[in-house]
């Protein structure tokens, strides 16, 4: 052990995997966050709160996960959105892995039971030469950090 702190990972090396769709090349991932929320529930599961009282339960609440990529001939984000609308796929697990300097996963986050809620196509402007991007917004059951 050298006593030196480990080099932090840079935010530009990551992978995104979606069950059933494999690795999807994206340029940006947003929404890897969680806040503490609370809800009330019955003190005895299955019985009404007014009869047995209620208790407050804390849990983690996460916003939508947003995946963004450059528009290309292959359209995995739009494909997933269309498959969801057509009811041909169920909810999926999304795993985002931040890679270290050697290209190995340093940290992984998983979003279970994810499904598309919004697809956004590119904003096209003739006066600006920029990469056209598309985004897919996903609802999910929360962000969990995993060891590599």
CATH number of the domain at 119, please: 2.30.110.20
User: CA neighbours within 13 Å on the CB side: how many for 105?
Assistant: 14
**What is the pLDDT at residue 12?**
93
Average pLDDT over residues 13-31: 96
The model's pLDDT over 53-99, given as tens digits with 9 standing for 90+, comes to 777 777 788 899 999 999 999 999 999 999 999 999 999 999 999 99
Give the global pTM.
Answer: 0.83
Residue 97 falls within a domain, yes or no? yes
CA distance 26 to 15: 8
Decide if 90 is inside a domain: yes
By residue range, what is the domain housing residue 81? Answer: 14-34+62-146
Q: How far apart are CA 32 and CA 38, in angstroms?
A: 19
Residue 83 domain flag: yes
Other residues' Cβ atoms within 10 Å of the Cβ of residue 28: 13
């Amino acid at each position: 052990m050298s006593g030196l702190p480990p080099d932090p990972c840079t935010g530009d090396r990551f992978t995104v995997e979606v069950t059933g769709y494999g690795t999807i090349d994206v340029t940006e991932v947003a929404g890897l966050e969680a806040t503490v929320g609370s809800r009330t529930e019955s003190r005895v599961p299955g019985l009404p709160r007014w009869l047995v009282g209620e208790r407050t339960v804390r849990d983690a609440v996460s916003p939508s996960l947003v995946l963004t990529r450059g528009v290309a001939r292959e359209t995995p984000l739009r494909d997933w959105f269309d498959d969801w609308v057509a009811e041909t796929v169920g909810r999926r697990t999304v795993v985002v892995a931040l890679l270290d300097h050697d290209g190995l996963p340093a940290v992984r986050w998983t979003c279970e039971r994810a499904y598309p809620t919004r697809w956004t196509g590119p904003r096209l402007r003739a006066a600006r030469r920029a990469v056209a991007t598309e985004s897919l917004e996903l609802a999910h059951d929360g962000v969990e950090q995993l060891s590599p």
